[in-house]
Amino acid sequence: MNMLRNRLRRLQGKSVDAQPANHAEDRAASSQSDSQQADKPVEAQSVNQAECEPTIGHSGTGLDNDTLECSANSTAHSSETAPAEQAVAAGSSTASLLQLQLSALPADEPFAEKWAELSVQLAQNEFGSFLLRSLRACGTEAIGMHAFGEWQQASSFLNAFHPQSSADPTQFLFLDLETTGLGSGTGNVPFMVGLAFWENDGFTVQQALIRHPAEERAMLAYVHRLTARFTHLVTYNGKSFDWPLMHSRYVLNGMRQTIWEPLHIDLLHPSRAIWRNTLESCKLSHIEKMRLGIVRIDDLPGAEAPARYFQYLNSGDPGLLEDVYRHNEIDMLSLVTLAIRFGHLLSNRDVKSIVQQPNEPEEMVRTGLWLERMGCQLYSEQLFQLAVHVPQQRTQTLMLLAMRDKRMQNMERALQLWQRVVDTESIWTTHDQVEAAIELSMYYEHKAKQLEQALAYAETAYERLREIRPGGRRSAQQQQKELEQLEKRLNRLKKKCRGTA
Amino acid sequence: MMNEWTGKARNMSEWLESLKQQKEIMENVTEWRTIPPREAVYAPLPQQLHPELKGALQAKGIDKLYSHQAEAFAAAAQGAHVVTVTPTASGKTLCYNLPVLQEITNNPEARALYLFPTKALAQDQVAELQQFADLMDCDLKTHTYDGDTAPSIRTAIRNAGHIVVTNPDMLHSAILPHHTKWVRLFENIKFIVIDEVHAYRGVFGSHVANVLRRLLRICQFYGSNPQFLCASATIENPGEHASRLIGKPVHVIDNNGAPAGEKHFIFYNPPVVNQQLGIRRSSVIETKKLASALIKQGLQTIVFARSRVRVELLLTYLQELTEHKVNDGTIRGYRGGYLPKLRREIERGLRSGEIKAVVSTNALELGIDIGQLQACVLNGYPGTIASTWQQSGRAGRRNEISVTFLVASSSPLDQYMIQNPDYFFNRPPEQALIDPDNLLILIDHVKCAAYELPFKRGEQFGAERLEDMMEFLTEEKVVHHVGDTWYWMEQSFPAHNISLRSAASENFVIIDISNRNKVIGEVDRFSAPTLIHEEAIYIHEGVQYQVEKLDYEEKKAYVREVDVDYYTDANLAVELKVLHVDKQKSFGHLEQCYGEVTVNAQPTIFKKIRLRTHENIGSGPIHLPEEELHTASYWFTFSDQLAASLTKEQMQSALMGLANVLSNIAPLYLMCDPFDIRVVPQVKAVHSGKPTIFFYDRYPGGIGLSKRLYEIHNTLLQNAEQLIRQCGCVSGCPACVGPLEEVGIWGKQTALQLLTMKLD
């Protein structure tokens, strides 16, 4: 073996390791503990063997709390930052229906106490074992501007994402993965699956963790069975990351015949639609800070989670994962809070009843446009009105709304907005001003048939365009082309004016 | 008869006759072989051929097959892995398309994966398959899947494509690592088609063999066991090569039944202009002369040159022919560094006939569809018999006479070929060599494979023990061991850091700062130190550029258009150390060895060489970092006794002369780029103190070239001796041991002395 190592080192132009033997011993020690773990019921099964047959029946609403070992006594895991952590491992999921046995980690398990401190339990099913941490977040609690209890009301409006659906608050599953790498390649393993759902007047947050990759199958089987009771999946960027990755993991583990096909609500998309230009980033961690009032203290950056997990794999010390657990937990609750916010927005009620209104005109207009697309005209028009009445604002925002009004045949306001853009005083002429003048010129030429007016606006557009120095995204060539087009317009209008005169 | 007004012959045979009358040409022709036309050998359409397919063939005007096509169909039907060996334009695509289409018409769930070495070849293939589909009126979904495929249709291809046409690089970095998205393909894959298998040799081939190992591992995971259908140009070992590549025994089909027109193969040796120094007239100038004559006759002509620089030189010269027509685009260049769009345009122009002549590197040697041309001029021996036939095959329309000129350069290999025509016409082409178990290449792909699927104890991947490799990767902390399984546990995506071809991922881009920083081309990392060092003259599409700045870290060369009357040529200094001897033999005064060495290489100076006269008019230093290489080597050593019979200076010239000869004839036995193998003479080798000549593979760990040379040691030296003896020069020339300035006046004599005394 060392031969191979040395041969490779030489080929790679590295100096040959003088004492590879020590490495080997270290390794032998740690792989021994690996195999000890593997001797337990974990026992990895060949990946291409039998398909996973989910045999769970319908999970009724009547929760069977007695079947669960409520570790209510082990509430004591510290941290004041997240109130959610006060309630623990509530008798939530009907474990028996999920064919899952929960128990404390056996005392002879290395670091058993530390696991208990983290309120982590050993979960076992016929595919093996993994670890499960369950928390409760009561309806009266909050980590940001919205109490979790608002979900009861807000959730019904989220049906707007899938107009045919009429889910009740308990039918939404929130999901967020912590993975060992990036992208959806087959070597990227979700080592922690964060799940959250509403039950018994509060949220249950479950975090499934695998102690090593051979436990993945048991964890997936559990998630698979759990998902069957929900109709909706709520994620952040889950359409392109979390869910395709789960899909890939099911295929790899031979479970693809029965993959759950949820109505998926990926909150990244509406977040982008609304905050694209008002927030510098549409990462959940940024949005929650700027718009949901969530403050994380000593949060582990998500990108560092894989490295922590690899350290854990080498040492077995659960303490290394504490920050990962907390990071994922806040991600889950932040996602819930964001979902509540979107639910409120979609409630289509009077503006003033909304807890937190958009505060920048750009955000108001973009929120309005999004709501309009989602079928909430009442609230969107209120937002447009609010935006219009803000005195100083970016021409870009005014144009956004003006183009919407043009499309919706609200010419009166469109004309006012374009005029405002043209009249805006600023040090540098913006391209919006040129465009607004062209729009006005077109309107007066074709609709109002006032050629003199049209000519005047075209001239304004031409002068404005000549004030703009090309640069940035617009090349000199483009500028030249636009000037030529405007010249044509001017000539045509002049000719027409002469013709009618 | 010839048109007296225009000087144009009415057809090829008339022109060839007139050529025979031209004394100044004929005195340089050393061989004129006429290869008679070949009649087609047909076979009926197979009985079991699906009626739809039969109908489509008939609609294309095909009511019988060539014998090799029928044999390929039969062998595939019996479940064999097949490799079909055929020359250019012999209907090889039907050899694999028929079995595949037969399977899909019978079973619409069946899938096939086609691999071509380049994107351009893949696109040609899809067009042909689509034509079939239209004729059969069946819902055959064929699509290319490569870097150019729009994201919007990728999902559809993954789920519904019957035939997915791609390249090994895409398979390696995009398909295999995401195999869970390709379930439909991998579960139902019946055939893997690999065209141009001869192109998968050396480092690239060794990588591709490993990509195929990964592919088969994934197929097995999904329960499929595909059959391979391969096609190859004529090489000596198609069966052995294909079998090493796919890791399975293959059925070889090489009874070509396609017809061919009469072909004239003319060897042309430029006249000697200085007998004493053995200097011949430039092959570039002679090539230009012959190509001009062909182009003036209106014959569509392809000129092959061995280097990019030569392509550009010849293009510049030939475009002068059209100068009064103001560069009308009828004479074009073609080589790797051109951007894809330009290349597609040139290919189209050749097919339509708008382009009358093209000057190309071996980039056009592969099966890119440019139609059949009428004449071919090879500037210099292409390096291998296989390439020579491939390139010559570009000229030759059915039922038409074609002509190929081989214009020899003064290199020993060219001179050997031109003086031994029987060697070329009677010998089988070279072997394609790969070493899929090169440790560095193997371990790279073991990583990718672990990323794709966990490894189980008892699995086999390549020649090394899997457990050893896994233990190594566990120590490196890229896999995690649990029970009897090793799992990938690292953040990276290994395929992204592994390029199948040195040139593909590590290209230097060439930026023209005199024209709005436009990217005008690319150079692979291998060639960069000698082609685009600062002050080098880089020629692109006939235009000269001087390299102003080379950003080695960022892999960018900034050039400015210039108009100078010289080009540049760089030198490389090499230091070499023996690490380990694996094999050893001695005969008489000679000991031959095979083992591991380290090589330190550094470019030193460049020379400025005047255009047309090719005289040296100046030089300058090159400042670039040294590169270290650990690789396989074959070397032989002369005894002290023999060394004592020569002075140190004599030994120096003898070894240098011998090395020159050997470096040129070694490629005779290896199907490799001349850059892939290097020869270094040392009067006192560091490890033994004895006069030694080293050969080494220019790839870490070696790819089997030196090993092969070690095996054919005796033949190699015999041929070296024969070449030196047969050379007409007095005391060494560029065609044998090298020019006098380099090897001194004893070079030829002492080199021969070494070779004759070695067995005493």
Q: What is the mean pLDDT of residues B390-411?
A: 87
Q: Looking at residue B494, what DSSP letter applies?
A: G
Confidence tier at B123 by pLDDT (50, 70, 90): confident
Q: Is the pLDDT of residue A94 over 60?
A: no
Torsion of CA B650, B656, B658, B663, to 10 degrees: 180
Using CA atoms, how far apart are residues A472 and B497, in angstroms rounded to an integer?
A: 34
Hey, what are B330's tokens? 């009828």
Average pLDDT for B245-274: 92
Assess if CATH 3.40.50.300 describes domain B12-35+261-426: yes
How many angstroms separate the Cα of A363 from the Cα of each of A274, A382, A393, A397? 6, 13, 12, 9
Residue B379 has pLDDT above 90, yes or no: yes
Q: How far is CA B183 from the centre of its chain?
A: 35
pLDDT band, very low/low/confident/very high, at A14 (cuts 50, 70, 90): low
Q: Which residues of B506-538 are buried (b: 16+ CB within 10 A; e: fewer)?
A: ebbbbbbeeeeeeebbbbbbbbbbbbbbbebbb
Chain center to CA of B286: 25
Output the pLDDT for position A360.
83
pLDDT tops 70 at residue B327: no
pLDDT band at B746 (very low <50, low <70, confident <90, very high): confident
Is A281's pLDDT higher than 80? Answer: yes
Binned at pLDDT 50, 70 and 90, residue B175 comes out as very high
pLDDT digits (tens, 9 = 90+) for B296-310: 888 999 999 987 778
Q: Would you call B482 and A38 a contact, using CB atoms and an 8 Å cutoff?
A: yes
Name the band, by pLDDT with cuts 50, 70 and 90, for residue B749: confident
Considering only residues 310 to 339 of chain A, which have any Cβ-Cβ distance to chain B shorter than 8 Å? 310, 313-314
Please tell me the distance from the alpha carbon of residue B701 to that of residue B679, in angstroms, as a whole number: 17
Separation of alpha carbons A192 and A425, rounded Å = 54
| Least confident segment among B213-222, B480-489, B503-512 | B503-512
Chain B contact for A10 (CB, 8 A cutoff): yes
Select the residue of B451, B480, B481 nearest A186 (Cβ to Cβ).
B451
**Sole residue written with tokens 């009445």:** A389
Least confident of A298-302, B30-34, B408-412: B408-412
Q: Which helix (H) or strand (E) holds B605?
A: strand B590-610
Contact B163, B142 (CB under 8 A): yes
Q: Among A181, A71, A113, A119, which residue's Cα sits nearest to residue A326?
A: A119
Q: Provide the pLDDT for residue A56.
A: 29
Option in A5, A13, A34 nearest B472 (CB): A5
- State the pLDDT confidence band at B525, using cuts at 50, 70 and 90: low
CB B524 within 8 A of CB B535: no
DSSP string, B141-199: -EEE-STTS-HHHHHHHHHH-SEEEE-HHHIIIIIGGGGGGGHHHHHHEEEEEE--GGG
SS3 state at A42: coil
B670 vs B406, more confident: B406
Domain ranges of chain B: 12-35+261-426, 42-253, 439-497, 506-564, 572-757
User: What's residue A71's pLDDT?
Assistant: 30
Helix (H, G, I), strand (E, B) or coil at B91: coil
Residues of B in contact with A187 (CB under 8 A): 177, 450-452, 488, 490, 493-494
Residue ranges per structural domain of chain A:
43-345, 391-500
Complex confidence, ipTM: 0.78
Eight-class DSSP state of A94: -
Whole-number Å distance between alpha carbons of B241 and B431:
8
Using alpha carbons, list the distances in angstroms from residue A71 to A325, A483, B638. Answer: 18, 74, 83
* CA–CA separation, B535 and B606 (whole Å): 9
User: What pLDDT band is residue B612 in, cutting at 50, 70 and 90?
Assistant: low
Contacts of A34 in chain B (CB under 8 A): 480-483
Nearest Cα residue to B757 out of B667, B679, B650: B650
Q: What is the pLDDT of residue A57?
A: 31
Which of B40-44, B514-518, B741-745 holds the top average pLDDT?
B40-44
pLDDT value of residue B661: 85
Query: Residue B676's closest CA among B647, B656, B697, B651?
Result: B697
Q: Give the integer Cα–Cα distance in Å for B320 and B313.
A: 11
For B625, phi then psi, to 5°, come to: -65, 155
pLDDT in tens, B671-704: 665 567 888 888 888 888 899 999 998 777 787 8
Q: B721 or B228: whose pLDDT is higher?
A: B228
**pLDDT bucket at A66, cuts 50 / 70 / 90:** very low
How far apart CA B393 and CA B387 sit, in angstroms, is 10
Name the minimum distance, in Å, from the CA of A125 to any CA of chain B.
19
What is the spatial distance between Cα A105 and Cα A123, in angstroms, rounded to a whole number? 9
Residue type, B709: L
From CA B136, how far away is CA B628, in angstroms rounded? 57
CA distances from B620 to B309, B529, B535, B573 (A): 19, 14, 8, 15
Asked if B488 and A256 come within 8 Å (Cβ–Cβ), the reply is: no
Compare CB distances from A11 to B178, B440, B487 and report the shortest one's residue: B440
**How high is the pLDDT of residue A102?**
92
Burial of B626 (0-12, 13-18, 19+ CB in 10 A): exposed
CATH of domain A43-345: 3.30.420.10
> What is the dihedral angle through the alpha carbons of B357, B362, B367, B371, rounded to the nearest 10 degrees?
10
Q: Which chain B residue lies closest to A46 (C-alpha atoms)?
A: B456
Contact B636, B591 (CB under 8 A): yes
Between strands A128-138 and A120-125, the pairing is: antiparallel
Mean pLDDT (whole number) for B131-157 = 87
pLDDT single digits (tens) A331-384: 999 999 999 999 998 987 765 666 566 778 888 999 999 999 998 888 888 889
Rounded-to-10 torsion of CA B261, B262, B263, B266: -170
pLDDT of residue A177: 97
Residues 6+ apart with CB under 8 A from A363: A274, A275, A278
Mean pLDDT in chain A?
81
Q: Would you call A259 an interface residue with chain B, using a CB distance cutoff of 8 Å?
A: no
| Domain B506-564, CATH class in plain words | mainly beta
User: How much is the pLDDT for A478?
Assistant: 83
CA distances from B327 to B37, B319, B320, B323, B331 (A): 37, 7, 8, 6, 8
A45: left (phi over 0), alpha (psi -120 to 50) or beta: beta
- Which residues, numbered 394 to 423 in chain A, qualify as contacts with chain B under a Cβ-Cβ cut-off of 8 Å? none
Of B464, B490, B701, the CB nearest to A11: B701
> CA A255 to CA A52: how far, in whole Å?
5
The CA distance from B176 to the nearest CA of chain A, in Å, is 9
Beta bridge partners of A265: A234
Nearby residues of B312 by Cβ (< 8 Å), 6 or more positions away: B333, B539, B540, B541, B542
pLDDT for residue A472: 59
Give the residue-averaged pLDDT of B421-437. 82
Q: What is the pLDDT of residue A81?
A: 39
Say if CB B156 and CB B184 are below 8 A apart. Answer: no
Residue A65 is predicted with a pLDDT of 31
- pLDDT value of position B85: 93
Q: Residues A83-89: what's their mean pLDDT?
A: 38
pLDDT for residue A444 is more than 70: yes
Asked whether the beta carbons of residue B490 and residue A187 sit closer than 8 angstroms, the reply is: yes
Taking 70 as the threshold, does the pLDDT of residue A76 lie above it? no
Bridge pairing between strands B616-621 and B590-610: antiparallel
Residue ranges of E strands in B541-589 = 543-551, 556-561, 566-587
Q: Closest Cα of chain B to A50: distance in Å?
A: 13
Q: Which CATH superfamily is domain B42-253 in?
A: P-loop containing nucleotide triphosphate hydrolases (3.40.50.300)
Cα(B595)–Cα(B584) distance, rounded to whole angstroms? 9
Report whether pLDDT(A49) > 50.
no
Tokens of A202: 């509060």
Q: How many CB atoms lie within 10 A of CB B396?
A: 25
On the question of pLDDT at A91 being above 50, the answer is no
User: SS3 for B363?
Assistant: helix
Per-residue confidence (pLDDT) for residue B616, from 0 to 100: 83
pLDDT at A37: 39
Burial class of residue B334, CB neighbours in 10 A (0-12, 13-18, 19+): buried
| Average of per-residue pLDDT values in chain B | 87
Q: Are the Cβ atoms of A187 and B450 closer than 8 angstroms? A: yes
DSSP characters over B37-58: -B---EEEPPTTS-HHHHHHHH
- Tokens 């061989």 map to which residue? B31
Distance CA B271, CA B279 (A): 9
Compute the average pLDDT of residues A189-216. Answer: 96
**What does DSSP assign to residue A14?**
P
Residue type present at position A457: Y
Fold of the domain spanning A391-500: 1.25.40
Q: Amino acid letter at A109?
A: E
Under 8 Å CB-to-CB from A472, ≥6 apart: which residues?
none
What share of chain A has pLDDT > 90, as a percent?
55
- The predicted pLDDT at position B118 comes to 79
Could you report the per-residue pLDDT of B578-599, keeping only the tens digit for each? Answer: 988 999 998 888 899 999 998 8
Least confident of B205-219, B368-382, B738-752: B738-752
Planar angle of CA B403, B404, B409, nearest 5 degrees = 150
Q: Which residue has the higher pLDDT, B610 or A342?
A: A342
The least confident of B257-261, B485-489, B712-716, B726-730 is: B726-730
Q: What is the pLDDT of residues B185-213, one digit of tens each?
A: 999 999 999 999 998 987 889 999 999 99
Cβ atoms of B50 and B105 within 8 Å: the answer is yes
Interchain CB distance below 8 Å, B480 and A212: yes
**Looking at the predicted structure, is the pLDDT value of residue B401 above 80?**
yes
